[in-house]
Amino acid sequence: MEGLSVSDANLVVYVHPSRSKNVSQAILRELSSLLFKFNETFDGVVLAYAVNALDKHARILSGVHPYFGVRLKANLLLFSPKPNMLLEGKVVKLMRESIHVIVLGFSSAVIVDEDIRDEFRYKSKRGEGKYVSRVHKRHTIKVGTMIRFLVKSLDEEILHISGSLIPDHTGSVGWLDGDVKNSTTESNKKRKQPDGEIEVQELGIASGDTHSVNNDREIKKKKKRRNAEEH
């Protein structure tokens, strides 16, 4: 998945005198206020931060007098989706007209039916809809599937992405990574697996999927940390 990056930032945090008693808390609070918001300076959304080098000396700056500036270096995990990037997310709702996806657990994305390539056909079985590829029967997208899609645009305010499934290399992550089992967990038993594919699948799970899973976990951890700090 693209759009995630780690960047080193040199920051100056202006601390209000009323917070001077506990400067490190004030700094963390200030940095926490950046989280999960689009920031133009970083050109992305700050997902997590680590302050690694605190400057021992703060300065009182003439222009912003009673505030004092604390210089610090911070490591930021940024999420900056740009048009034509490939993102991955989990399908939370699927209808004929649109597929709704959540990326990294917080950003929402929608793919409307015109942006779904003709290869996919909508099918509804017992009230549960899914998109099935006409070419590869096992390539299906339904609620719960991780899909890879192309970014068309981003609403920075609410972090809402408009996506597309037009390019060939988009669709169910499981299928694209050669893992049929993952994408069709339930109906898979009935089907005959081609020889040797199982091993490949296992590898697929091991290598391809772990990345995104790890990402997810990492973010959850960071989220927790953030919560802890806020309290």
Site of interaction with other proteins (CB under 8 A): 36, 92-93, 95-98, 100, 102, 105-108, 110, 112-114, 155, 157-160, 162
User: For residues 66 and 178, which CB has a smaller minimum distance to other proteins in the complex?
Assistant: 66
Contacts of 18 (CB under 8 A, 6+ apart): none
Q: Which of 104, 92, 87 is nearest to 163 (CA)?
A: 87
Closer residue to other proteins in complex, CB, 106/217: 106
* Residue 115 Cβ vs other proteins, minimum distance, rounded to whole Å: 9
Residues 6+ apart with CB under 8 A from 20: 26, 68
CB of 139 to other proteins, least distance (A): 23
CA distance 99 to 93: 6
Q: Are 94 and 142 in contact (CB under 8 A)?
A: yes
Q: Which amino acid, residue 22?
A: N
In the complex, least distance from residue 128 CB atom to other proteins, rounded to whole angstroms: 16
Q: How far is the CB of 231 from other proteins (least distance, A)?
A: 8
Q: Which is nearer to other proteins, 11 or 48 (CB)?
A: 48
Closest to other proteins by CB, 36 vs 42, is 36
Task: Output the CA–CA distances (angstroms, integers) from residue 208 to 169, 180, 182, 187, 203, in the order listed.
Answer: 15, 13, 12, 22, 8
CB closer to other proteins out of 38 and 49? 38
Least distance in Å: CB of 154 to other proteins?
A: 8
